[in-house]
Amino acid sequence: MIAQRTAIELSDGRELIYFDEKPGADRSFPDRRHLPPPPPASQLRLDPLVDEWVAVAAHRQTRTFLPPSDRCPLCPSTADFASEIPADDYDVVVFENQFPSFSDRVAPDEITELTEAVPVRSGIGRCEVVCFTSDHTSSFGALSPERVRTVIDALADRTELMSALPGVAQVFPFENRGVEIGVTLHHPHGQIYAYPMLPPRTQAMLGAARRHAATTGRNLYADVLAAEQKAQVRVVAANEHWTAYVPAAARWPFEVQVAPHRQVPDLPALDDAERDAFGPLYLDVLRRLDALFGQPMPYIAAWHQAVVGAGRELGYLHLQVFSVRRAADKLKFLAGSESAMGVFVNDVVPETAARMLRDAC
């Protein structure tokens, strides 16, 4: 649990928050840099052919890309290098992204038109970076269960506050790991996006959940989880409060969903027992993924939380972790069918993936 929460302001006005596991940490270190003001918000353009918003954020072209370890912006600052974190050490840190896809630093614009068919509006929202540890060479899977609890508490803190921002429709915490995924910084970290619109996947999930509730009166995800727990064949691991399983219709070669046994809308709604129980199970899943091919598994870990507005009651918090690696020397590329049409063709049978993960450790 978080013993000390300390918010400071960086030299360009962005917020940074230290989440310390022990009280008394010195967080008075000033930001020694002289940074320009944060960039303007991105622009949202509606694709009328599929009724989906696309963010255009040209300022992100200049973001830091795979710097040497002694110039990592997520490491603690040293006498020779001032990073994003002014302190000389930390447990968990969250700060506003210097190159955000969405920003709450501008007033919401009225919707205008690029053409008669393409509405345009400002990319209102917020993007934050979450540093899991000050150790540049570590990984999420190497964290202690206690540190995972601190991360969960930090994500819950940020989810609650970001959900209250004007115009935010959903808060999405996630982690990208591995150059195969496209990370631009090696330091163990994740991000949080506060979206001003509902992402396409969330819209599809809400539609399915509404239809299921109208037909059965029950929650769709709860029914899917119960069916997996009964079948057992795709369950990878479980404890008193969480179950990790491979979805029956997994899109990715190795995909696991980790779900609490109690329906909760988001991370802030988890109780202490659920927060404590998550770390040991998730760390076990990550170790199994790494053990599959004897090398670090590239992955995306995505927290699916309930929406902020209409449809919130249909949400069921769960974590989706998946990899593009389909064999020791092969990656799953999103080629013609996946990229152009959104139809996934999985190279690994989900039941086989579940068995491989159960046998991995």
The residue with tokens 């200049």 is: 62
Half-sphere exposure of 212 (CA within 13 A, CB side): 16
189 is annotated as an active-site residue: yes
Candidates 34, 186, 189, 212; catalytic one = 189
Distance CA(130)–CA(301), nearest Å, equals 13
Distance CA(2)–CA(287), nearest Å, equals 25
Residues 325 and 331 sit within 8 Å (Cβ to Cβ): yes
Distance CA(153)–CA(159), nearest Å, equals 10
Distance CA(248)–CA(230), nearest Å, equals 13
Residue partners of 94: CB distance under 8 A and separation at least 6: 16, 17, 19, 128, 129, 130, 131, 154, 158, 192
Instruction: At 259, give phi and psi (nearest 5°).
Output: -130, 140
Distance CA(340)–CA(336), nearest Å, equals 5
Q: Is 187 annotated as a binding residue?
A: yes
DSSP code string of 252-283: SSEEEEEEESS--SSGGG--HHHHHHHHHHHH
Q: Is 361 annotated as a binding residue?
A: no
Closest CA relative to residue 67, chosen from 183, 191, 185: 185
Terminal CA-CA length for the chain: 29
Distance CA(261)–CA(235), nearest Å, equals 13
**Which residue numbers belong to the known binding site for Zn(2+)?**
72, 75, 136, 187
Catalytic residues: 189
